[in-house]
Amino acid sequence: MEAGPDLSVPLDELVVSVVDVETTGLYPGGHDRIIEIAVVRAKAGGEIIDEFETLINPNRDLGPTHIHGIMAADVQLAPSFSDVAGDIIEQLQGTIAVGHNIRFDLAFLNSEFERLGFRLPEIPSICTLRLGPILGVKVPARSLRECCKFFGVSHHAAHSALGDARAAAGLYSLLIEHAISSGILTLSDIDLDLTMPALDDWPNISVTGRRYARKQASDPTTQTLSYLSKLVSRLPAASESDMQFIEYLELLDRALEDRIVTDEEAEGLHRVAEEFGLGRDKVIEVHRSYLNALAVVALEDGIVTDAERRDLIAVANALSINQATLDEMLEIARTVTSNVVATEGSTDSHELSGLSVCLTGTSRCYISGELITRARAFALAEEAGLDVQKGVTKNLDLLVLADPHSMSGKAKKAREYGVRTMSEEVFWRIIGVDID
């Protein structure tokens, strides 16, 4: 028994599933993975029936973040592919898959299911990249962006799975309208091999209903509180202890070196705060003093560069201090810089010189408008007197992360071995590289 739409159904009534995936790279046969998928069910007239989208946690680094715009922090709460495999089958079963270079999307889907021990049937598909020439429509470009631009199809949120799927749906609709106007009324009239697989050819995987869209990842109302906010809220309301908190400051230095505070680091800070009897008010005071000290350091040369300001804002966010307070600190620091002592434990380029360093992830930083390539990154690190290593060992001194939340194998090893980590923005600033 065959499943799916009758190929003799009029084209303007046929419902298809437009698919797009964002991935860590280009090779599904290797280690690259799907990190976002969208399926838009639509009619040729442009009517959208429903939409499915979710980020997917690949449990590895995310590849060219500067292209797809997905950060490791965005997928921390996202389901794994195995969590949504049944839902994806539900979207594709009994329908025709449409996409711009659909072979790419289906190759990644096949690879993901094979990792789970399943094999997908051959999914009937229509490629909008190839449909134009089949219908005798001249398509002057290959990319989805340029095709949409040429035909006047809206393409918002490019390089997001849902944005690209919606655009491909619009492109498909336009091409089918051209087909109908040319007297092509059903898919049977088009030279395409669209054999529908039987229902029992599909893997039997339960539907979970799990979703985690980009808008959820980026919406502050759905995000958890910052780790330091939670830490402060858990402390007792007050304490009379006057014990020194140098150890707390030193731990804070370590936690904030990569400008991200992990659960483990927050728990360590909480334990130290409890040991020293630091209540909420005292911890808030310490955090403000810490940020103020960094502001003073940034103003030592009389100017706060864009890179320094981004760094200060990152620390302020981690410490749950608003930007208005940071601006006030900077204004005061301009007049009292000479009277303020910087927090102990600050890192400078002399401290890093001679250390062994490994860099992981695709850079997100630019120098004079050009993205820092891996070769240039290595050269800059070596010029600063560091010993660049290709891998992470227990003897490595420092791992530089393009994405502080990275789930790459190198990042996992560094955390396992207790190797010091640092975000690339901070690393470049410390060794004196002027990034945009």
Q: Mean per-residue pLDDT for 150-159?
A: 91
User: Is residue 7 predicted with pLDDT exceeding 80?
Assistant: no
Q: Which CATH number does the domain housing residue 119 bear?
A: 3.30.420.10
User: Is there a single domain that holds both residue 327 and residue 361?
Assistant: no
User: Is there a single domain that holds both residue 189 and residue 245?
Assistant: no
- Rounded Cα–Cα distance for residues 42 and 153 (Å): 15
Average pLDDT value for the chain: 82
User: Is there a single domain that holds both residue 270 and residue 334?
Assistant: yes
User: Is there a single domain that holds both residue 65 and residue 180?
Assistant: yes
User: Is residue 242 predicted with pLDDT exceeding 50?
Assistant: no
Instruction: Pick the last residue of a domain from 184, 218, 252.
Output: 218
User: Is there a single domain that holds both residue 164 and residue 205?
Assistant: yes
pLDDT band at 396 (very low <50, low <70, confident <90, very high): very high
Instruction: Pick the last residue of a domain from 197, 218, 239.
Output: 218
**pLDDT tens-place string over residues 50-89:** 999 999 999 888 988 888 889 887 888 899 999 999 999 9
User: Is there a single domain that holds both residue 333 and residue 372?
Assistant: no
User: Is residue 227 predicted with pLDDT exceeding 90?
Assistant: no
Task: Please give the residue range of the domain that contains residue 237.
Answer: 227-339
Domain presence at residue 2: no
- Rounded Cα–Cα distance for residues 304 and 19 (Å): 46
Q: Report the domain count for the chain.
A: 3
**pLDDT tens-place string over residues 269-296:** 887 788 777 788 888 888 888 888 778 7
Domain presence at residue 4: no
User: Is there a single domain that holds both residue 178 and residue 297?
Assistant: no
pLDDT band at 247 (very low <50, low <70, confident <90, very high): low
User: Is there a single domain that holds both residue 330 and residue 395?
Assistant: no
Domain presence at residue 51: yes
Q: Which CATH number does the domain housing residue 357 bear?
A: 3.40.50.10190
Domain presence at residue 435: no
Instruction: Pick the last residue of a domain from 172, 187, 218.
Output: 218
Please give the backbone phi and psi of residue 312, each rounded to the nearest 5 degrees, phi first: -65, -40
- Rounded Cα–Cα distance for residues 410 and 81 (Å): 22
Tokens coding 99: 């996409």
Residues 6+ apart with CB under 8 A from 20: 37, 38, 99, 100, 105, 161, 162, 164, 165, 168
User: Is there a single domain that holds both residue 209 and residue 254?
Assistant: no
Q: Mean per-residue pLDDT for 155-176?
A: 94
User: Is there a single domain that holds both residue 237 and residue 281?
Assistant: yes
User: Is there a single domain that holds both residue 132 and residue 202?
Assistant: yes
User: Is there a single domain that holds both residue 314 and residue 372?
Assistant: no
Residue whose structure tokens are 């994405």: 403
**pLDDT tens-place string over residues 289-317:** 888 877 877 776 566 777 777 778 888 88
